Amino acid sequence: MADNNRWILAAQCPSRLGTVDVVTRFLKERRCYITEQHSFDDRLSGRFFIRTEFRPEEDGFDQAAFEAEFAGRATEFDMAFELTAPGKRVPVVIMVSKADHCLNDLLYRYRIGQLPIDIRAIVSNHPDLASLAEWHGIPYHHFAITPDTKPEQEGRVWAVVEETGAELVILARYMQVLSSELCAKLSGRAINIHHSLLPGFKGAKPYHQAYDKGVKLVGATAHYINDDLDEGPIITQGVEPVSHADYPEDLVAKGRDIECLTLARAVALHVERRVFLHAKRTVVFDR
C-alpha cells in the first residue's frame, strides 16, 4: 500500500495460449514495470485469472488511453478486465445490529488508513451504535425492522446504498436475513461475517453450544452474500484453538477477535481486487 503510483490490472478469460503474454507484453510496450503478479488457470472450468500490479516508468500515464488500447488486445482472448488507479478508496456502507466489535475494528483500520475504503454511511436496525458513528463523523441510519416492514426497510437500505454510491456493503454482524431481492442487487459486492464452528451451531448463543460440546477450535468465515444463508462464496476464514479450560465467555471473546480479523482481511482482499468470483467459488490472490 506504500507505493503511491501502483496501478492494478485484474482480468479473467477462457484458458488460451498467450493469456499471460498479452498482459505482460502490453505493459512492457507501454513502459510499465510489474511489481507484483499472480495468475491461476482452472483446468476444470477452463478459466484463467490474472492480477498484476504495475507502475508507469514515464510521466503522464493516461488511464483512458491505456484502457482503450488494452481492450483491443483483450478482445482476442475474450478477456474482461478492470484497471484500478493508485490510491482509490472504495465507497462503503456498513450494516450492523447491536454487536459493535467488527464495526469498531473496521472504523479503527479506516481511521488509521489501513483499509483503502471510504465509509459513506452506517445502517442499523437498532439505534444503539449511533454515538459511535457520530464520534467518527459518519452518517448513521436507524431503520427498524419487523416481518411486516421488511420490504419497506430494505427499500430504505437500498436507497442509502444508491445515494452514497457504495461499491461495497459490509455486513459487520448485521443480524437480519436479507431478502432474495436485496441479495440479488448486492451480488458480488456485499461481504458477510459469521462464526464457523464444527459441528455447526445454529440459533441463539452458538459459542455456548460449542462449549457444551467441548469444541477445540473456534473460527469465522467471511463470504459474499447470496440467497443461501451463510453459504455464499467464501473469501477467507480464520481459526483459533480453544481447550477445556476455556469457558463460554472465553469462546465468545476469542470468537469476536477472529471475526474482526477475518472480516478485515476479506475487505482488504476485495478492495485490492484480489478476489475473483468464479461460479459458486472464489479465486483469491492473497498478499
Task: Give the integer Cα–Cα distance in Å for 229 and 221.
Answer: 13
Here the contacts of 198-207 (C-beta below 8 Å, separation 24 or greater) are 205/248, 207/248, 207/251, 207/252, 207/255
Strand order in the sheet with 32-42: 32-42, 47-56, 7-14, 80-84
Task: Give the integer Cα–Cα distance in Å for 80 and 58.
Answer: 26
Question: Hey, what's the cell of 148?
Answer: 411486516
- As separate numbers, helices (DSSP H) first and strands (DSSP E) second, the chain gives 8, 13
Q: Using alpha carbons, list the distances in angstroms from residue 192 to 29, 90, 136, 244.
A: 41, 17, 22, 30
| Residue 271: CB atoms within 10 Å | 19
Q: Using alpha carbons, list the distances in angstroms from residue 101 to 112, 137, 159, 257.
A: 17, 18, 26, 8
Alpha-helical (H) ranges within the chain are: 19-29, 63-75, 101-111, 130-135, 150-164, 180-185, 206-213, 248-271
Annotated catalytic residue within 230, 246, 250, 286 = 230
Task: Give the integer Cα–Cα distance in Å for 254 and 47.
Answer: 38
| Residue 77: CB atoms within 10 Å | 20
41 belongs to the catalytic site? no
Q: Report the catalytic residues.
A: 230
